[in-house]
Amino acid sequence: MGMNTNKVRNADEEDVMRLTAEEQGWLAGEAGPALRRAMEIVTALGTIYGARRLIPVESVQISGVSYRNIGDAGLDFLCRWADEGARVRVPTTLNPTAMDMVSWQTQGLDPDFAAKQRQVVAAFARMGVGKGVPLPTCTPYLIGNRPLPGAHIAWAESSAVAFANSVLGARTNREGGPGAIAAALTGRTGAYGLHLEEHRRATLRVKVDAVLDTISDYSALGALIGRTAQKAVPLFVNLPLEADDPLYEEKLKALGAAMAATGAVALYHVASLTPEATSSDLLTADCACWCIDDLTEGYAMLSDDIERIDLVWIGCPHASLVELAQLTERVAGRRLQVPMWITCARPIRDLAVDSGLVGKIEAAGGQVFADACMAIAPVRNLGFQAVATPSAKGAYYLRNLANVAARFGTLDQCLAAAETGHWPSMGRDA
Amino acid sequence: MTSPAPLTFTARVIKAGVAEGEALVSADPIGFLGGVDGQTGIVTERDHPLAGTCVAGKVLVFPTGKGSTVGSYVLYQLAAEGLAPAAIINAESEPIVAVGAIIAEIPMVDQVPIGAIRTGDRVCIEGATVTVSRGADHTR
């Protein structure tokens, strides 16, 4: 072929992001290598997604914290970035770690692993995450990082993204680990995706005719929807939920987390409930319509056919104080035979200690750990092979990331398994 | 016998830089976590067109990234071990490889018609300009 030049596009004409003078300076390295790298990441992501400019963000949630996941390469990179002077510009919170940062020995973590995990958190602390004292959690909105409606934020952690967008009405895309750090260091993110009004309308209508009662029922519904919806923006109608439900936030937290795990849902609406579900033209013209009248498959699709259970895990996403109180009532008088671990943010655990909840859970044989997430923990090394959980997201990542067998069921089923070490053969309880 | 005239493309810059090297072309996407060994640079994904090949020092050409977001850190690890590709060319970039290229300081461009590049071609990247040269022994 004779052609020797082949200009496929002209970079001067399209897709060019306009940066402010300050942003251009950061990109040129005028404020040091740490900010230069952060600007390179923010602008590259903006370029890939077609952003024409950057916008300020009010807060950031960082993922990629577990040493088990990021390894020595990730740790080395974070330390280098911190050494270069990386410092966050906006309030920034941190995702869970692989262990309780205080009680890791009780959990049975290897000391060498624990030392590495502490170094990861220390690198984030040096960057100013959590004002220098990170409190690792996937529910930052329960411990003070709670954006107002309309706020632009840059959050990683898919369940928190779904909650912030959908329940709080804030605006964020699903950031990745280094991308979120870059947003924290620059205080910026690209103006694309869910930051733009036109991408926040519902593309899928889900009519719910199934009976939904418990938090895990919402989790099962989310598992079903996420699997097929993928990146859609669902609008739920006929959801049997009222704004004054004592478990309102917990149920929506579970629904969004599950859809973000089995799919990539970052935003959903619930008719007449969630902040953006008031508009009459919320649905796009070409939206799909689904009807869900049974949750059985939602539970079954994330369960292995195992009978013996050696760990029950509750708190995915991290448990709220209300959930801990509910759990305390349910375990009163029981004697659990296999470990039952509940995970939550440290401030929530502190409150639960002060109010006597943790003591009662421990009296029944359960344990409440802070900071940690079992999905990203070295679960097999801790001696567990079969885990029961009332969380669809928990079961999904236990099976796909922690590589253990899992059962996803109701809290009643999980508590029965904790009492006997066997998955109850009865059907789903109401 | 003279070599054919080089091909020149204007690409989109993901990570600015200057690099030159021999092209290693994959028709399939690459997932770095679990797909490339961070300590040897060898592609380990089973049945991948580049399986068993080392990416070190090559201008790595592939359609796009795939797989876990932790894959960014595999590129960083390759760079720390001195085994990083000299540059990366994608048809369409996605965040995992883009972020990996930035933190590993690997020049990277996308929106290039990668079908025009063959393994063994000499590729030079200077900012947005990609130049592809081919020896006379290859028929075009």
Q: Which domains does chain B have, with CATH numbers?
A: 7-133 (3.50.30.10)
Q: What is the pLDDT of residue B1?
A: 56
Segments in A294-345 forming alpha helices (H): 296-300, 321-331
Give the rounded distance of the alpha carbon of A58 from its chain centre: 18
Q: What is the pLDDT of residue B33?
A: 86
Whole-angstrom Cα distance, residue A273 to residue A198?
20
Q: Which of residues 201 through 260 in chain A touch B, CB cutoff 8 A?
A: none
Q: Which of residues 142 through 181 in chain A touch B, CB cutoff 8 A?
A: 176-179
For A302-420, the fitting CATH number among 3.60.21.10, 3.30.499.10, 1.10.150.120, 3.50.50.60 is 3.30.499.10
What's the whole-number mean pLDDT along residues B72-87? Answer: 96
Please give the share of chain B, as a percent, with pLDDT higher than 90: 86
Active site residues of B: 68
For residue B76, what is the nearest residue in chain A, using CA coordinates?
A73
* H or E, element range at A289: strand A283-292
For residue B93, what is the nearest residue in chain A, using CA coordinates?
A48
B8/A64 Cβ within 8 A: no
Of the residues A13, A39, A48, the best mutation for testing chain B's interface (the one with the most B CB atoms within 10 Å of its CB) is A48
Three-class SS of residue A55? Answer: strand
Which of B9, B73, B96 lies at the smallest CB-CB distance from A77? B73
Q: What is the pLDDT of residue A86?
A: 98
Q: Confirm if B61 and B26 have CB atoms less than 8 A apart.
A: yes
- The β-bridge relationship of strands A92-94 and B7-10 is unpaired
Residues of chain A neighbouring B9 (CB-CB closer than 8 A)? 6-8
Q: What is the pLDDT of residue A425?
A: 76
Q: CA end-to-end span of chain A, whole Å? A: 70
pTM above 0.90, yes or no: yes
What's the whole-number mean pLDDT along residues B128-138? Answer: 85
Residue spans per domain, chain A: 21-197, 201-299, 302-420
A77/B76 Cβ within 8 A: yes
All residue ranges of chain A with pLDDT < 70 are: 1-15, 426-430
Does residue B44 belong to the interface with chain A, where contact is any CB pair within 8 Å?
Answer: no
Residue pLDDT, tens place only, A49-75: 999 999 999 999 999 999 998 999 999
Overall fold of domain A21-197: Aconitase; domain 3 (3.30.499)
Which is more confident, B34 or A27? A27
B140/A1 Cβ within 8 A: yes
Which of A6, A64, A74 lies at the smallest CB-CB distance from B113? A6
Domains A21-197 and A302-420 share a fold: yes
